[in-house]
Protein backbone atom coordinates (compact mmCIF):
# COMPACT_ATOMS: atom_id res chain seq x y z
CA UNK A 1 0.00 0.00 0.00
CA UNK A 2 1.43 3.41 -0.97
CA UNK A 3 1.86 5.98 1.76
CA UNK A 4 0.44 9.42 1.22
CA UNK A 5 2.39 12.38 2.55
CA UNK A 6 1.11 14.24 5.56
CA UNK A 7 -0.57 17.33 4.08
CA UNK A 8 0.31 19.41 7.15
CA UNK A 9 4.02 18.83 6.65
CA UNK A 10 5.93 20.81 4.07
CA UNK A 11 7.75 18.48 1.67
CA UNK A 12 11.07 19.72 0.36
CA UNK A 13 13.72 18.22 -1.87
CA UNK A 14 17.39 18.26 -0.96
CA UNK A 15 19.08 21.11 -2.81
CA UNK A 16 21.99 19.19 -4.29
CA UNK A 17 25.15 18.90 -2.24
CA UNK A 18 24.92 22.22 -0.45
CA UNK A 19 22.29 23.05 2.15
CA UNK A 20 21.41 26.32 3.83
CA UNK A 21 24.09 25.97 6.50
CA UNK A 22 26.87 25.67 3.92
CA UNK A 23 27.41 21.95 4.49
CA UNK A 24 28.61 20.27 1.32
CA UNK A 25 27.76 16.64 2.09
CA UNK A 26 24.46 16.73 3.97
CA UNK A 27 21.26 16.47 1.95
CA UNK A 28 22.72 14.91 -1.17
CA UNK A 29 24.85 12.15 -2.57
CA UNK A 30 28.46 12.15 -1.41
CA UNK A 31 31.17 9.73 -2.46
CA UNK A 32 33.45 7.99 0.03
CA UNK A 33 36.68 10.03 0.10
CA UNK A 34 39.78 8.41 -1.41
CA UNK A 35 41.76 8.90 1.82
CA UNK A 36 41.38 10.41 5.31
CA UNK A 37 43.47 13.38 4.18
CA UNK A 38 41.00 14.13 1.37
CA UNK A 39 37.92 13.69 3.56
CA UNK A 40 35.98 16.81 4.50
CA UNK A 41 35.03 16.77 8.17
CA UNK A 42 32.24 19.29 8.71
CA UNK A 43 30.97 20.94 11.86
CA UNK A 44 27.77 22.67 12.91
CA UNK A 45 27.11 25.17 15.71
CA UNK A 46 26.38 23.63 19.10
CA UNK A 47 22.83 24.70 20.05
CA UNK A 48 23.82 24.50 23.75
CA UNK A 49 27.36 25.94 23.92
CA UNK A 50 26.94 27.00 27.56
CA UNK A 51 26.06 23.48 28.71
CA UNK A 52 28.52 20.69 29.40
CA UNK A 53 27.37 17.33 28.11
CA UNK A 54 28.92 14.26 26.53
CA UNK A 55 28.16 13.26 22.93
CA UNK A 56 29.10 9.73 21.86
CA UNK A 57 29.62 8.09 18.49
CA UNK A 58 29.98 4.31 18.34
CA UNK A 59 31.43 2.73 15.21
CA UNK A 60 31.19 -1.06 15.57
CA UNK A 61 32.39 -1.91 12.04
CA UNK A 62 35.43 0.31 11.45
CA UNK A 63 37.88 -1.01 8.85
CA UNK A 64 41.31 -0.05 7.60
CA UNK A 65 44.15 -1.83 5.82
CA UNK A 66 47.34 -3.23 7.36
CA UNK A 67 50.19 -1.20 5.85
CA UNK A 68 52.46 -4.26 5.77
CA UNK A 69 50.25 -7.12 4.58
CA UNK A 70 47.46 -5.22 2.82
CA UNK A 71 44.91 -7.30 4.75
CA UNK A 72 41.84 -5.67 6.32
CA UNK A 73 41.83 -4.70 9.98
CA UNK A 74 38.63 -4.34 11.99
CA UNK A 75 37.85 -2.29 15.09
CA UNK A 76 35.07 -1.08 17.32
CA UNK A 77 35.65 2.67 17.73
CA UNK A 78 34.01 4.76 20.47
CA UNK A 79 34.33 8.56 20.41
CA UNK A 80 33.19 10.66 23.38
CA UNK A 81 33.44 14.44 23.54
CA UNK A 82 32.20 17.46 25.44
CA UNK A 83 31.40 20.01 22.74
CA UNK A 84 32.45 23.62 22.84
CA UNK A 85 31.09 25.86 20.08
CA UNK A 86 30.90 23.03 17.52
CA UNK A 87 29.37 19.61 16.92
CA UNK A 88 30.61 17.21 14.27
CA UNK A 89 28.15 16.77 11.41
CA UNK A 90 27.45 13.03 11.51
CA UNK A 91 27.30 12.32 7.76
CA UNK A 92 30.71 13.90 7.26
CA UNK A 93 32.03 11.84 10.20
CA UNK A 94 30.70 8.64 8.59
CA UNK A 95 32.35 9.50 5.28
CA UNK A 96 35.60 10.41 7.03
CA UNK A 97 35.65 7.10 8.91
CA UNK A 98 34.76 5.16 5.74
CA UNK A 99 37.78 6.75 4.02
CA UNK A 100 40.00 4.52 6.16
CA UNK A 101 38.71 1.38 4.37
CA UNK A 102 41.45 1.60 1.74
CA UNK A 103 43.96 3.42 3.93
CA UNK A 104 47.05 1.59 5.11
CA UNK A 105 47.96 2.46 8.70
CA UNK A 106 48.68 0.74 11.98
CA UNK A 107 45.98 0.57 14.65
CA UNK A 108 47.65 3.20 16.80
CA UNK A 109 47.96 5.61 13.86
CA UNK A 110 44.31 5.26 12.82
CA UNK A 111 42.95 5.74 16.34
CA UNK A 112 45.13 8.72 17.26
CA UNK A 113 44.71 10.38 13.83
CA UNK A 114 40.91 10.26 14.17
CA UNK A 115 41.06 11.78 17.66
CA UNK A 116 43.46 14.53 16.60
CA UNK A 117 41.45 15.43 13.49
CA UNK A 118 38.24 15.70 15.50
CA UNK A 119 39.97 17.77 18.19
CA UNK A 120 41.41 20.12 15.57
CA UNK A 121 38.08 20.53 13.77
CA UNK A 122 35.77 20.83 16.78
CA UNK A 123 37.98 22.32 19.51
CA UNK A 124 35.98 20.40 22.14
CA UNK A 125 36.31 20.95 25.87
CA UNK A 126 37.31 17.28 26.16
CA UNK A 127 37.56 14.36 23.77
CA UNK A 128 38.53 10.71 24.03
CA UNK A 129 38.61 7.88 21.55
CA UNK A 130 38.86 4.17 22.20
CA UNK A 131 39.94 1.91 19.37
CA UNK A 132 39.15 -1.70 20.24
CA UNK A 133 40.91 -3.63 17.48
CA UNK A 134 40.28 -7.26 16.67
CA UNK A 135 43.32 -9.56 16.84
CA UNK A 136 46.08 -9.36 14.29
CA UNK A 137 48.60 -12.17 14.63
CA UNK A 138 46.67 -13.44 17.65
CA UNK A 139 47.04 -10.19 19.62
CA UNK A 140 44.17 -7.73 20.05
CA UNK A 141 45.35 -4.12 20.23
CA UNK A 142 43.33 -1.51 22.10
CA UNK A 143 44.33 2.13 21.60
CA UNK A 144 43.12 5.06 23.72
CA UNK A 145 43.68 8.80 23.21
CA UNK A 146 42.24 11.85 24.86
CA UNK A 147 42.75 15.59 24.94
CA UNK A 148 41.72 17.99 27.67
CA UNK A 149 40.13 17.28 31.03
CA UNK A 150 36.59 16.16 31.58
CA UNK A 151 34.72 19.18 33.04
CA UNK A 152 33.83 18.87 36.71
CA UNK A 153 30.46 17.30 37.37
CA UNK A 154 30.14 15.67 33.94
CA UNK A 155 29.45 11.98 33.68
CA UNK A 156 31.34 10.16 30.95
CA UNK A 157 30.20 6.54 31.05
CA UNK A 158 32.53 3.64 30.51
CA UNK A 159 32.83 2.91 26.81
CA UNK A 160 31.20 -0.47 27.42
CA UNK A 161 33.44 -2.60 25.26
CA UNK A 162 34.41 -5.84 26.93
CA UNK A 163 38.06 -6.88 26.61
CA UNK A 164 38.71 -9.39 23.85
CA UNK A 165 38.26 -12.92 25.15
CA UNK A 166 38.60 -15.02 22.03
CA UNK A 167 36.80 -18.28 22.56
CA UNK A 168 37.12 -17.93 26.32
- Domain boundaries along the sequence of the chain: 43-148
Among residues 111, 110, 128, the alpha carbon closest in space to that of 119 is found at 128
Compare 10 and 151 and report the one with higher pLDDT.
151
How high is the pLDDT of residue 20? 44
* Annotated catalytic residue 73: yes
Cβ atoms of 84 and 124 closer than 8 Å:
yes
How high is the pLDDT of residue 29? 79
Catalytic residue among 73, 110, 142, 158: 73
pTM of the predicted model as reported, rounded to 2 decimal places: 0.83
Return d(Cα 144, Cα 146) in angstroms, integer. Answer: 7
Record: fold of 43-148: GTP Cyclohydrolase I, domain 2 (3.30.1130)
**What does pLDDT average to over the chain?**
86
144 DSSP β-pair partners:
130
Cβ atoms of 36 and 113 closer than 8 Å:
yes
Return d(Cα 92, Cα 32) in angstroms, integer. Answer: 10
Mean pLDDT of 111-117: 98
Catalytic residue among 8, 66, 110, 158: 66
Confidence of residue 5 (pLDDT cuts 50, 70, 90): very low
Amino acid sequence: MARTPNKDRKMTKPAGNKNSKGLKQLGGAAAIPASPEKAVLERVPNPHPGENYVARFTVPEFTSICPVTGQPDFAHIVIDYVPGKWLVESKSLKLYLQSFRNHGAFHEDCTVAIGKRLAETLVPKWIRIGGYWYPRGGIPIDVFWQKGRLPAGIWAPDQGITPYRGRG
